[in-house]
């Protein structure tokens, strides 16, 4: 089968690899029709992780089941499914508590937790930027979709990662109706955090970034853009809140945060949020930070290379703020968010800028990694077919649209 394989820093090649197959009675085999490139893939693409050469990338996957293992009873061949990027067993101490983001069974390293497809340090699993994907414990991990799945793949594929991840940032930050929320990062995750905050009833949402094309999308969904090349988010937010600061903040950038000139400084977003969020406010950090950064700058005393980020902890403590961090437990949210999509209340496909065939993955990585103008979110189709034309309601970007669910959608199995 064809797959997008990591071959070293800034080199992704589409090549033939052995077919994925059912290896365990609980596995399902999925023919991938839509697989996204994620900002997390870029950390690996740039050689800024321990990701091994020769491995297939891709953890945002959707497709149709083509084979099921003997122990699979719920998922059937022919089902359309979207796969949470987390791979979880469903029966370990962590999964029992809904912490599928830190499953103990699927992570082979004894001192680690959490697994994912095609991801550094998250187990040996291959990614889904390929024609076929092996999904362990298919009954637990696959979220089945309704009959509208083939036409609405661009919406539903966002359930694999960025929509639940953005939502998780707002959950950890404690966004409530009427809140004023600051999001750092207008990449796909930041846009999904802003979208989620609006869905949760936030009164005012700001999105800070220095990429004008991405900030325009933030404005299209009703957020207020802060271009960090021109304005300091803390000043903007305090000015608008009688000096109090935002009720909550979401970090959607991660350890490769940089200034508008491109100089990396992992403290920028966290310390910006500690400054901007009010006393006792919450901060949700979904941007990735790593215990070791192979490409970290030695110039700053090697701190970055050691995964150390000097935080304004005194100010955080003094303000009584709380922080939530880590990979998102996608399964906690994906079913409810699926039904918001099915019911016409959410349309996360608004951020898709490019639909390409898997064969074009190499160039796609290059453009997305350069943050080239207009390259917001790249979707790859291993079956080569574009879904753009058939996506329902293109062009409408409002949150909580008024379209009514169909009877079929209402009868959707829980
Ligand atoms: P992305 O790289 O496309 O977007 C990041 C955005 O941050 C860019 O638009 C960039 O211009 C902006 N940025 C950089 N420095 C900034 C700064 N100092 N201030 C404000 N904005 C700044 O990535 P993405 O797909 O949106 O993902 C964002 C982060 O979330 C990545 O670290 C990714 O690995 C992580 N992520 C985490 C999870 C999780 O489960 N926790 C899931 C998916 C992605
Ligand atoms: Zn992702």
Q: Where exactly are the structural domains of the chain?
A: 2-161+345-410, 162-325
Query: What pLDDT sits at residue 167?
Result: 98
Ligand 1 nearest-atom number relative to CA 255 = 32
The closest of 142, 201, 141, 197 to 166, measured between CA atoms, is: 197
Show the tokens assigned to 11. Answer: 């080199």
Mean pLDDT over 196-216 rounds to 97
333-344: average pLDDT: 98
Q: Predicted confidence band at 305 (pLDDT cuts at 50, 70, 90)?
A: confident
- Cα distances (angstroms) measured from residue 385 to each of 1, 151, 249, 355, 358: 17, 11, 38, 9, 10
Average pLDDT over residues 10-31: 98
Ligand 1 atom closest to 376 (CA): 3
- Span of 10-19, 295-304, 375-384, 393-402 with lowest mean pLDDT: 393-402
Q: Where do runs of H (alpha helix) occur along 57-134?
A: 93-96
* Vertex 285: Cα angle to 280 and 290 (nearest 5): 135
- The candidate with the shortest Cα–Cα distance to 296, out of 50, 38, 10, is 50
Query: CATH: 3.90.180.10, 3.40.47.10, 3.10.290.10, 3.10.20.90. Which one for 2-161+345-410?
Result: 3.90.180.10
Q: Read off the pLDDT of each residue in 136-147 and give the average, rounded to a whole number.
A: 98
- Over range 40-57, report the average pLDDT: 95
pLDDT band for 386, please (50, 70, 90 cuts): confident
Ligand 2: centre distance to CA 193 (Å): 13
pLDDT at 396 over 50: no
Element (H, E) at 42: helix 39-45
> Distance from the CA of 186 to the center of ligand 1, in angstroms?
7
Pocket test for ligand 1, best of 192, 287, 324, 372 (most atoms within 8 A of CB): 287
Summarize pLDDT for 76-122 with one digit per residue, the tens. 999 999 999 999 999 999 999 999 999 999 999 999 999 999 999 99
Question: Tell me, what's the pLDDT at 147?
Answer: 95
Same fold flag, 2-161+345-410 and 162-325: no
**Mean pLDDT of all residues belonging to the chain:** 92
The mean pLDDT value for 228-256 works out to: 97
Ligand 1 pocket list (CB less than 6 A): 38-40, 42-43, 161-162, 165, 184-190, 208-211, 214, 228, 252-254, 257-258, 268-269, 286-288, 327-328, 371
In this prediction the pTM is 0.93
Q: Would you tell me how many other CB atoms lie within 10 Å of the CB of residue 298?
A: 9
Between the alpha carbon of residue 270 and those of residues 157, 221, 258, 367, the distances in Å are: 29, 24, 12, 27
Cα–Cα distance for residue pair 313/215, rounded to 1 Å: 29
Distance CA 157, CA 168 (A): 17
Contact between residue 189 and residue 336 where contact means Cβ atoms under 8 Å apart: no
Strands 143-144 and 378-381: unpaired
The dotted CATH code for 162-325 is: 3.40.50.720
Q: Which ligand is nearest to the CA of 256?
A: 1
The rounded distance, in Å, linking the Cα atoms of 282 and 173 is 4
Q: How far apart are the first and last CA of the chain?
A: 34
Judged against a pLDDT cut of 80, whether residue 68 lies above it is answered with yes
């Amino acid at each position: 089968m064809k797959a997008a394989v990591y071959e070293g820093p800034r080199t992704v090649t589409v090549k033939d690899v052995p077919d994925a197959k059912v290896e365990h009675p609980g596995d399902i085999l999925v023919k991938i029709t839509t697989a996204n490139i994620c900002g997390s893939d870029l950390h690996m693409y740039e050689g800024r992780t321990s990701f091994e050469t020769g491995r297939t990338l891709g953890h945002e996957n959707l497709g149709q089941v083509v084979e099921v293992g003997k122990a699979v009873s719920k998922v059937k061949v022919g089902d359309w499914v979207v796969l949470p990027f987390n791979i979880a067993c469903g029966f370990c101490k962590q999964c029992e508590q809904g912490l599928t983001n830190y499953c103990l069974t699927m992570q082979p390293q004894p001192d680690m937790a959490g697994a994912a497809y095609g991801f550094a340090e998250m187990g040996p699993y291959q990614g889904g930027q390929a024609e076929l994907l092996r999904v362990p414990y298919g009954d637990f991990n696959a979220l089945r979709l309704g009959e509208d799945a083939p036409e609405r793949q661009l919406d539903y594929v966002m359930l694999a990662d960025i929509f639940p991840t953005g939502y998780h940032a707002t959950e950890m930050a404690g966004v409530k109706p009427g809140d004023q929320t600051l999001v750092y990062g207008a990449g796909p995750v930041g846009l999904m955090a802003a979208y989620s905050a609006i869905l949760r009833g936030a009164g005012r949402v700001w999105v800070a970034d220095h990429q004008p094309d991405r900030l325009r999308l933030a404005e299209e969904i009703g957020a207020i853009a802060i271009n960090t090349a021109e304005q300091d988010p803390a000043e903007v937010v305090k000015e608008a809140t009688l000096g109090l600061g935002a009720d909550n903040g979401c970090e959607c950038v991660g350890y490769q945060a940089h200034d508008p000139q491109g100089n990396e400084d992992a403290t920028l977003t966290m310390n910006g949020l500690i400054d901007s969020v009010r006393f006792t406010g919450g901060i949700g950090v979904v941007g990735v930070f790593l215990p070791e950064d192979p490409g970290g700058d030695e110039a700053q005393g090697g701190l970055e290379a050691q995964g150390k980020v000097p935080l304004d902890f005194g100010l955080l403590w003094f303000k009584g703020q709380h922080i939530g961090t880590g990979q998102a437990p996608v399964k906690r949210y994906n079913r409810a968010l699926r039904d918001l999509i099915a019911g016409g209340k959410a349309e996360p496909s608004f951020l898709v800028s490019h639909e390409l065939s898997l064969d074009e993955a190499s160039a796609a990585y290059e453009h997305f990694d350069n943050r080239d103008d207009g390259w917001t979110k790249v979707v790859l189709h291993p079956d080569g077919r574009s879904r753009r034309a058939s996506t329902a309601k293109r062009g409408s970007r409002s949150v909580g649209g008024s379209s009514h669910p169909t009877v079929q959608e209402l009868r959707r199995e829980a």
